[in-house]
Amino acid sequence: MRVHKLNDQSLVITGNAAGFLNGITSNALDAPLNAFLNQHGRVIATFRPKKISDDEFLISVPMVAVEALLKHLERYAKLARVTLKPSAQTAYIDVDTAQIVWSSGPETNAVSEEEFTLFRLNHDMPLMGIDYQADEFILNIHEFNYTSYTKGCFLGQEPVAKVHNRSKPTRKLVVISEDQCTPEDATKMTSKAFDPVARKTKGFVFVTNKLP
């Protein structure tokens, strides 16, 4: 197993964790990716969850988003009578299986940053704080990876459902080779890496989502 540590903070949620998360996050609780949104459907934090039980969940949150997320969740957590605390568990990505691995031990990165970046590009795995930032409209990052349209109500659902049902996001985050970019887009490319198979440099870029 070859793993790479995410630059995340793990939090443990206890109490009515499943009910709390279901009402305030954009995706089903068994999905590998999820998000906390504001009322406009914009990202406060994306995260990776692990269910321990209905009363306990682990979530792996990008470091850049932890402070804002805890502030956002403070009043909701009090109303739901749940507790959020830092966890000793750490989230890693297994680059051989593309699955998340949780560990409380002193795991070390088995792959370089360069190899992990290329892995992320090949698996369409953007990271918050690198390829997209807080306040990005969630559907600009991906149409389906972070949202469920059957799970029931969640904070930010109305603008997300409206765009999904009536239109398309104004832009979308894609993996593209540098020679396919406009000069302006090339300067905005993130997570750039040389792909030895394609023999091209590629990265993440937000491009205009053309309407039919």
Q: What does each of the 212 residues of the chain score in pLDDT, given as a tens digit?
A: 899 999 999 999 999 999 999 999 999 999 999 999 999 999 999 999 999 999 999 999 999 999 999 999 999 999 999 999 999 999 999 999 999 999 987 667 788 999 999 999 999 999 999 999 999 999 999 989 999 999 989 999 999 999 999 888 889 999 999 999 988 899 999 999 999 999 999 999 999 887 55
Q: How many CB atoms lie within 10 A of CB 34?
A: 23
| pTM, entire model | 0.94
The backbone torsions φ and ψ at residue 163, rounded to the nearest 5 degrees and listed phi first, read: -65, -40
* Pairing status of strand 8-14 against strand 190-195: unpaired
Instruction: Name the β-bridge partners of 62.
Output: 8
Q: Which domains does the chain have, with CATH numbers?
A: 3-208 (3.30.1360.120)
Q: Which two tokens stand for residue 118?
A: 């290329």
Tokens of 117: 């970046």
- The answer to whether residues 141 and 173 touch, using CB atoms and an 8 Å cutoff, is yes
* Alpha-helical runs (H) found in the chain: 17-24, 66-80, 113-122, 138-141, 157-166, 183-187
- Rg of the chain over Cα atoms, rounded to whole angstroms, equals 18
196 to 115, 191, 202: CA distances (angstroms): 11, 15, 11
